[in-house]
Structure 1
Amino acid sequence: MSSAITKEIEAHRQPDHEIHPQFLTRWSPRAFKEQEVPDDVLHSVFEAARWAPSGSNLQPWRYIIAHTPEQRSRFLEFINPFNVEWCQKAPVLAVVASQTKAANGNHNGSHAFDAGTSWGYLALEAANQGLITHAMGGFDKAKAREILHVPDEYELHAVIAIGYRGPKESLSERYLNREFPSSRNPVSDMVFEADFGQKWS
């Protein structure tokens, strides 16, 4: 394996086929340092998210970020308490949303798919910048919409914690035992040939 793969990653993640190390080294820790992310680094992370592909190049994703203590405190009002427990130390929180309609008023059927792709680009570039990210679905969407004044034509998807990795010992026992890179199901479980359920050889 590449020298970019640490012992921690190697212990939990073994690819069946050769891939770039970035896909293995990106994972979702919960232990954050209370260290601010420089503006230029943060701009690079969202620059990567900008370049994701999208249906008809509509680029429906939108991000609302909080990177001051006052801004983050507003976000903590709609994040579920079990997530606040660890994400309150993250220096940056971001809500990802997507516009559900095209400019002509028609429904954009790929808006969520495209927003997910943008978040994936963001997560990979964050890792390239030495940051960690953790996306969470545990938040009150209605309350977030109200607090952040999100228009009805946008769907809220996740809150993303962004920052530098901290010591896992800072986590409560509930999360301490989960602070490791998770593995993945094999390719044979997700790729079918010609028909659904037909294994690809």
Structure 2
Amino acid sequence: MKTMNTPDHHKTAQTTYPVTDLIRNRWSPRSFSARELSDEAMLTILEGGNWAPSANNSQPWRQVYALRGTRGFDAIVSVLAAGNQPWARLAAALVVTVGVRELPDSQQKNAYYLHDAGMYNAFMLLQAQSMEVSGHVMAGFDKHKMAELLDLPVSEEAVTVTALGYRDEAEKLEEPYRTRELSKRSRKTLTETATAFSI
């Protein structure tokens, strides 16, 4: 059985420039093993995310998490999109990233809360990757039901749900997830996304 110590070479990013292995080897699996995530590991991953940059250090995020085998975990799974439930229920933990729409001590809208919540997720995923824990971020869930489940005020929004856990064999997945798990990764080239500005 593969573990995170056994790189999936077909998933390792083939970059034009020498990107750190932490980034090259990070991808979003759907096949998770039965191995549990300890409380300390869970909190360490969340701590990594907490050091993400944000506009004026406002940190417009909250995380609501649940470990597999708890009622909270099952409740979060129940409001995921039908296409995410079969594999996400196998994860060791689920993390709901909540964005705070308003600036601290103010009712003024924070125009960057979604961007900053995404920065949190990126740091969380890289911290997890450094611990050989994989993460898969989902936008497929019922936002209204999630807000009700978590009793969120109108100033907060459930932005994403991230499945965390230790990778397992792709072969145990049903289609179409198995094919997606085995497919090679690709990205647009820098010539498509980056432009040197000059006047």
TM over 0.5: yes
Instruction: Tell me the CA shift for residue 69 of structure 1.
Output: 2.5
Equivalent residue of 1:179, what SS? helix
Matched, 1:191 2:194: yes
In the aligned structure 2, how far is the partner of 1:6 from the partner of 1:71? 32
Q: Which moved more, 1:100-109 or 1:132-141?
A: 100-109
Cα distance 1:11–1:89, how it changes in 2: closer, same or farther (>3 A)?
A: closer
Equivalent position of 1:92 in the other structure: 93
Instruction: Tell me the CA shift for residue 145 of structure 1.
Output: 0.3
Do 2:12 and 2:25's aligned partners in 1 also have CA atoms closer than 8 Å? no
In the aligned structure 2, how far is the partner of 1:72 from the partner of 1:11? 28
The one-letter code sitting in structure 2 at the alignment partner of 1:145 is A
Matched, 1:48 2:48: yes
In the aligned structure 1, how far is the partner of 2:22 from the partner of 2:6? 12
In the aligned structure 1, how far is the partner of 2:160 from the partner of 2:75? 16
In the aligned structure 1, how far is the partner of 2:71 from the partner of 2:25? 32
User: Once superposed, what is the RMSD of the aligned Cα atoms?
Assistant: 1.9
Instruction: Tell me the CA shift for residue 12 of structure 1.
Output: 5.6
Equivalent position of 1:82 in the other structure: 83
Cα distance 1:150–1:7, how it changes in 2: closer, same or farther (>3 A)?
A: closer
Equivalent position of 1:178 in the other structure: 180
In the aligned structure 2, how far is the partner of 1:154 from the partner of 1:46? 19
Do 1:9 and 1:24's aligned partners in 2 also have CA atoms closer than 8 Å? no
In the aligned structure 2, how far is the partner of 1:172 from the partner of 1:88? 14
Q: Which moved more, 1:113-122 or 1:150-159?
A: 150-159
Gapped runs of 5+ residues in structure 1?
196-201
Equivalent residue of 2:147, what SS? helix
Instruction: Tell me the CA shift for residue 27 of structure 1.
Output: 0.4
Structure 1-normalised TM-score?
0.90
Render the CA deviation track for 1:9-68: whole Å, top value 9, x for unaligned. Answer: 356621101111111101000001122101111111011001000001000111110114
In the aligned structure 1, how far is the partner of 2:27 from the partner of 2:7? 14
Cα distance 1:8–1:171, how it changes in 2: closer, same or farther (>3 A)?
A: same
Equivalent residue of 2:167, what SS? coil
1:141 to 140, 143, 163: 143
Structure 2-normalised TM-score?
0.90
> Where in structure 2 are the equivalents of 1:1-201 lying within 5 Å?
8-9=8-9, 13-67=13-67, 68-102=69-103, 103-180=105-182, 182-194=185-197
Cα distance 1:161–1:77, how it changes in 2: closer, same or farther (>3 A)?
A: same
Equivalent residue of 1:33, what SS? coil
Do 1:5 and 1:21's aligned partners in 2 also have CA atoms closer than 8 Å? no
Equivalent residue of 1:120, what SS? helix
Render the CA deviation track for 1:123-165: whole Å, top value 9, x for unaligned. Answer: 0110111111001111000000001111110122111000111
Q: Which moved more, 1:62-71 or 1:20-29?
A: 62-71
Render the CA deviation track for 1:50-101: whole Å, top value 9, x for unaligned. Answer: 1000001000111110114311111122101110011111120111111110
Do 1:52 and 1:117's aligned partners in 2 also have CA atoms closer than 8 Å? yes
